Every structure is written in C-alpha cells, then in structure tokens.
Amino acid sequence: MQTINIGQCFSLDPSGRFYSDDSGASGEQFREEHLLPALQNLQPGEKIIVILDDGPESYGSSFLTEGFAGIVKYGYMEARPLLDALEIEYTDPDYEFFEKKIKKYISEAKFASKDYKSTK
C-alpha cells in the first residue's frame, strides 16, 4: 500500500486546476507530481490510500477534477482500474462529500479525450 496524505505531502490549501493558476497547489500539480507517480509504481493488487482530511478544510471541484479525473481524461488509466486502485480515507464524515465527488468525476471522465500539455 502506498499512502498520499494530501495535507502532509502536498498542501493544506489545494486549489485550482492548472499550474498556470498560480495557486502553488493545483490539481494538475497534484496529479503529475504525486498521484501519477504513485500509480506508475503500483504493484498488481496494490492500492493507493488517499487521505483527505489531515489538514485541508475543503477541496474545489477544479482541483478534484484535474487532480483525479485528469488521469482518465489524459489517457493515463481508464476509470474502472483507477477507481479500483484508490482507497479514499477520512475520519471526518463531512469529507464523504469529497470522496463522492472524486468518484463521480473519475466515472464521468472520457478516456484519452484530451492531449496533455503542461501549463507549467
């Protein structure tokens, strides 16, 4: 199991869609620098635990869409295998909302529907 604790390893204030949004903690940055490398190092049958509620108070839809559904949209992985690879964790029940949004955005993303061009 690999663990990505967003508040500890990425940002207490994740926001924005692209590097070019100048948030310093965009969904694109999270995907490219944290989630994608973890997925590429995943062993068969292994999961990535993503901890949502250790610091960040909230997540915007732009961050969640680009950070998670971007994996599907840019053709890195199809939705079902991605959903199977992720285990979203939180202790605060309010964060169930964000888990549902992540899963919805991933499920609705069209595989390889866009070419990825970094906005860095």
pLDDT of residue 54: 96
In a domain, 57, yes or no: yes
pLDDT of residue 64: 99
- Region of 24 (left: φ > 0; alpha: ψ -120 to 50; beta: rest) is left
In a domain, 117, yes or no: no
Domain that holds residue 6: 2-108
Q: What is the pLDDT of residues 48-67, one digit of tens each?
A: 999 999 999 999 999 999 99
Amino acid at 91: T
Q: Which residues of 45-73 are buried (b: 16+ CB within 10 A; e: fewer)?
A: eeebebbbbeebeebeebbbbbbbbbbbb
In a domain, 118, yes or no: no
Q: How many domains does the chain have?
A: 1
Q: What is the pLDDT of residues 6-58, one digit of tens each?
A: 999 999 999 999 999 999 999 999 999 999 999 999 999 999 999 999 999 99
In a domain, 113, yes or no: no
pLDDT of residue 76: 98
In a domain, 20, yes or no: yes
Q: What is the pLDDT of residues 84-105, one digit of tens each?
A: 999 999 999 999 999 999 999 9
Report yes or no: 64 and 28 within 8 Å, Cβ to Cβ. Answer: no
In a domain, 27, yes or no: yes
* Residue at token pair 């991933």: 106
